[in-house]
Structure 1
């Protein structure tokens, strides 16, 4: 399927697909997660009701749901240890899910969270989760998230198909937040998911 809405100013958007997007999202997220210390686990995040530790658990769970959409037996396989840190758990789960989707391919339809959808769109959930929750982690930890404008535009285009008015209700997404027409691509993405784009104070050093 094609995704409408990507801006012409991002020429590399056409070179992406759902798998390469997920791989790039994980690469951008890992440096953020690797900075988490035990003292950070209780920090609040922009994802309402989730601190850093709880958001890590939530992300691993959703990633595994994407794997189960490709292979119903996927959830029976424990690919991570609860003794691992958040980065290790997210990375191991995501890499396992990418592998199962590489084997399945993206043709046809699958069931994700009780909803029948094109397989490509279900795989697209992986990028939306990694990038948007990556932004949540980055905000909580006062760190940058290395997502390019082209990548953010691609994920936003997928999100517009995935996050419908009905799924906002069931998945807990708030209504979109208004942003300027010339807002950065990542800001437009997180605003679409109901988050208010913000940055840590300019005098605060990243860790």
Structure 2
């Protein structure tokens, strides 16, 4: 939804703050995403960022020589690369136009608003993953929490069938909206490193 465009910049700013808190010794720390340590999660973000950007611009996907598993994108300059990529995603998805109409993520055509919600989710959910991995907390604005919860609930079954989300985690009664969003994506809000 194009009104979510206004949520992108604040979510990206919080995400960038988390990135800047990651030290070299923390790259091997495990994350709430069972298959990723911090380095692998950063690699995931750096790999898929250009695909999301292209979808937001309604442009062809990037030409890549290898898949995510074989990409080695977390070099000495990973922070600079991640911050530049974050800024590009804000430039694209911070405008309502990126959320309108149809687009393609790779070869899959879909509403552009779904891709926009993916970008917001990348900043919010993976920001939380990285923060937890390095023993920090992250504040999620109530509006962003509502948006990512609505998206996670709507996409839940399909995302689980595609192995994008884990099995839903039942959260405590009285859980916050963001905790419910985490649970909907298969994350345990109480996870610690």
Counterpart of 2:123 (choices 130, 152, 175) is 130
Q: Are 1:144 and 2:130 matched, yes or no?
A: no
Provide the residue aligned with 2:43 in structure 1.
57
Question: 5+ residue gaps in structure 1?
Answer: 2-15, 202-207
Provide the residue aligned with 1:193 in structure 2.
185
User: What RMSD, in angstroms, separates the aligned Cα atoms of the two structures?
Assistant: 2.7
Query: Is the CA contact 1:69–1:112 (under 8 Å) kept in the aligned structure 2?
Result: yes
Give, in whole Å, the separation in 2 of the partners of 1:74 and 1:113. 5
Query: Is the CA contact 1:109–1:116 (under 8 Å) kept in the aligned structure 2?
Result: yes
Provide the residue aligned with 1:34 in structure 2.
20
User: What SS does the aligned partner of 1:25 have?
Assistant: helix
Counterpart of 2:62 (choices 75, 98, 108) is 75
Q: Are 1:183 and 2:150 matched, yes or no?
A: no
Query: Is the CA contact 1:26–1:91 (under 8 Å) kept in the aligned structure 2?
Result: no
* Cα distance change on mapping 1:100 and 1:200 into 2, 3 Å: closer
Query: Is the CA contact 1:149–1:184 (under 8 Å) kept in the aligned structure 2?
Result: no
Question: 5+ residue gaps in structure 2?
Answer: 64-72
Displacement of 1:94 in angstroms is 2.1
Deviations 1:50-101 (A, max 9, x none): 111110110122222211213334636xxx9954233x32221122123234
TM-score of the superposed pair, with normalisation by structure 1: 0.77
Query: Is the CA contact 1:132–1:190 (under 8 Å) kept in the aligned structure 2?
Result: yes
TM-score of the superposed pair, with normalisation by structure 2: 0.82
Aligned length: 183
Query: Is the CA contact 1:67–1:75 (under 8 Å) kept in the aligned structure 2?
Result: no
Deviations 1:123-158 (A, max 9, x none): 111011111111111111111112123321122112
Displacement of 1:167 in angstroms is 2.8
Provide the residue aligned with 2:148 in structure 1.
155
Give, in whole Å, the separation in 1 of the partners of 2:152 and 2:108. 15
Provide the residue aligned with 2:69 in structure 1.
none
